[in-house]
Amino acid sequence: MYVTVRRRATAELEERRSRFIANVSPVEDEAAALSFVDEIRREYADATHNVYAYRVGVKVPTQKSSDAGEPAGTAGMPVLEAIRRSDLTNVVVVVSRYFGGILLGAGGLARTYSRAALQGLRAAEPVRMVRHIHLRLELDYSLYGKIEHLVASRSLRVLDKSFARAVSLVLAVPAPEEDGVRRELARLSGGTVSMAVVGSSFLPVARLKL
C-alpha cells in the first residue's frame, strides 16, 4: 500500500504580489517525474523560477528537489517537505513563481512555497493505493448470480468479462483479501470454480484529506 495523488492538478496563490502556481502530477518513476518538470518549464518559460520536487518508489523512495535559482533551501526543500509530511510518493510538484517586485525573505519564501505545494497536492486528490491480485474465474452459468452477489458485497472490481461455453471473469481482489475471497468462491461453488492469478496492479481504494 502507498499514498499518491489521483490526478494532475493546478493551484495558485499570491503573496505580496508574487504569483505561485503549483502543478502536480502522479508519476510511476523518476523518468516520468523529470518529463513532467520539463513540460511545466516549457509551459511556464516566462516564470521567474520553476521550483520542483518529486518522490517516487514505495519501499525506498527516490526523492529530489531543486531551488531553481531561489536562495538555497528556501524553495525546493519546502516543496519536498510538503510531499513527505503528507506521506505521499509517486508524485511530482512544480511551483512556478512570477516575482511581484517585493522580496519575501528566506522564511517567507519557504512558507509560501510549502503552502503552494500543499494546495496543489490537495487539488490533486490524495488517494490510498492497494495492490490488487487479478484473479481469473471460470464458472458455470448457474453460479453466475451467486458470484455477482459476492463481487458486489465485497466491492470487488470486474476487469474483464466474457460469456462462451462458461462464464469467464477477471476480478481485481485486494491482496490482503485474496485468501478470504478464494475460500468464499470455493464455498459458493462447491469447489467447482476454476481460479488462476493472471497479474496484479495497484488500484485506488480511498480518497484522503491533507
If you search the block for the grid coordinates 470487488, which residue do you land on? 156
Is there a single domain that holds both residue 59 and residue 92? yes
Same domain, 101 and 6: yes
| Residue showing cell 520536487 | 53
Which residue is associated with the grid cell 496543489? Answer: 120
Q: Which of 103, 124, 145 is the last residue of a domain?
A: 124
Tens-of-pLDDT digits for all 210 residues of the chain?
Answer: 899 999 999 999 998 998 999 999 999 999 999 999 999 999 999 999 999 999 999 888 999 999 999 999 999 999 999 999 999 999 999 999 999 888 888 899 999 999 999 999 999 999 999 999 999 999 999 999 999 999 998 888 999 999 999 999 999 999 999 999 999 999 999 999 999 999 999 988 877 777
- Asked if residue 189 and residue 137 are part of one domain, the reply reads yes
Q: How far apart are CA 202 and CA 133, in angstroms?
A: 9
What is the CATH number for 191? 3.30.70.240
Tally the residues of the chain: 210
DSSP tag of 143: G
- Please tell me the pTM assigned to this model: 0.80
From 106, 163, 104, 177, select the one nearest 135 (Cα to Cα). Answer: 177
**Judgement on whether residues 62 and 149 belong to the same structural domain of the protein:** no
Identify the residue whose cell numbers are 474483464: 160
Same domain, 171 and 202: yes
Q: Where a domain ends, among 102, 124, 146?
A: 124
Query: Do 8 and 109 belong together in one domain?
Result: yes
7 and 110 together in one domain: yes
- The owner of cell 517586485 is 101
Whole domain around residue 148: which residue ranges?
129-207
Instruction: State the Cα–Cα distance between residues 134 and 136, nearest whole angstrom.
Output: 7
User: What is the count of structural domains for the chain?
Assistant: 2
For residue 6, what is the domain's CATH number?
Answer: 3.30.230.30
The answer to whether the beta carbons of residues 20 and 13 sit under 8 Å apart is: yes
Last residue of a domain, which of 91, 106, 124?
A: 124
